[in-house]
Each structure stands twice: as C-alpha cells, then as structure tokens.
Amino acid sequence: MKLMVTFSRKRGREPVIAQVVRDTGVLINVERAQIDSHEGEALIEVPDESCQLVRERMEALGATTRRLDRTILYDRDECVDCGACISICPQDVFAFDPEWQLVVEEGKCVLCGKCQLACPHGALTLQL
C-alpha cells in the first residue's frame, strides 16, 4: 500500500518516519521524498496489513497521511501505444507486450510525474 505523508515543521521536528519504524517495527520503504525548510512530502510503501497502524502512529506524531489506491491513471482510449513513456520512467512502469501494446504496472509508480509530461496523447494522469 502506498501512502503520501505530509510533514509540517509547525507540528514538531520529530524524525517521523524513523520514529514510526522504531515504534511499530514495520519496515517502511521511502519511494520518493521532497522536504524543504517548512514542510515535506514523502511517498512511502508499507505492507497492506500494517497500513492502518503506520497511519495512526504518523498522525499521532503530527504528520498527515493519505492512502493512494491509484498512482498513474492510464486512459487506454487516448493511448496509441507509441511508447514515449517507456524510456523516461525511472521505475520501469511501462513496457510493450509481444504485440507492441503498452502494459502499465501501476504498482511500481513513485509518482515522479515525468510520463504525464512526456505522453503526447494525454493518456497518463497522476493521481494526487
């Protein structure tokens, strides 16, 4: 399960992710993080069964969390199977099947947003 965690300096300077890992013992995979002096955002992946626990602990430490059921929304009708998304994706989300049709593995996406810009046909939209 992917969670988008938002930190705010106003609500404390705790090392939230480290704290939650220590408290819960759940191994959190940080897929992407952007943190500046005032606030930050991290995309994390946690095992489905620990999702609720991790969220509760993070919220208790002042972070807000949002469950991401989807990552990149793929509009098959707009896609022409060109493949412009394939080589620019850092996570290998996109590939061709043997018939040169695009295959999208949404679960690998870390929401970097490159494909949304690169798709000439507007077939890819980040779910944020």
Q: Is 40 in the site for other proteins (CB under 8 A)?
A: no
Q: Is 77 in the site for other proteins (CB under 8 A)?
A: no
Question: Contacts from 33-39 at CB under 8 Å and sequence distance 24+?
Answer: 35/7, 37/9, 38/8, 38/9, 39/6, 39/7, 39/8, 39/9
Strand partners, 126: 72
**Among 11, 67, 76, 121, interactor with other proteins by CB under 8 A:** 121
Please, what is the minimum distance in Å from the beta carbon of residue 64 to other proteins?
31
Q: Is 113 in the site for other proteins (CB under 8 A)?
A: no
Q: Is 105 in the site for other proteins (CB under 8 A)?
A: no
Given the complex with other proteins, which of 23 and 92 has the nearer CB atom?
A: 92
CA 7 to each of CA 16, 31, 67, 111: distance values in angstroms, whole numbers, following the listed order = 8, 16, 15, 18
Q: Is 99 in the site for other proteins (CB under 8 A)?
A: yes
**Among 81, 108, 112, 126, interactor with other proteins by CB under 8 A:** 81
Strand partners, 29: 45
Q: Is 126 in the site for other proteins (CB under 8 A)?
A: no
β-pairing verdict for 72-74 and 64-68: unpaired
108 contacts 39 by C-beta, under 8 angstroms = no
Given the complex with other proteins, which of 107 and 120 has the nearer CB atom?
A: 120
Please give the residue ranges that form the binding site for other proteins (CB under 8 A). Answer: 80-88, 99-101, 114, 117-118, 120-122
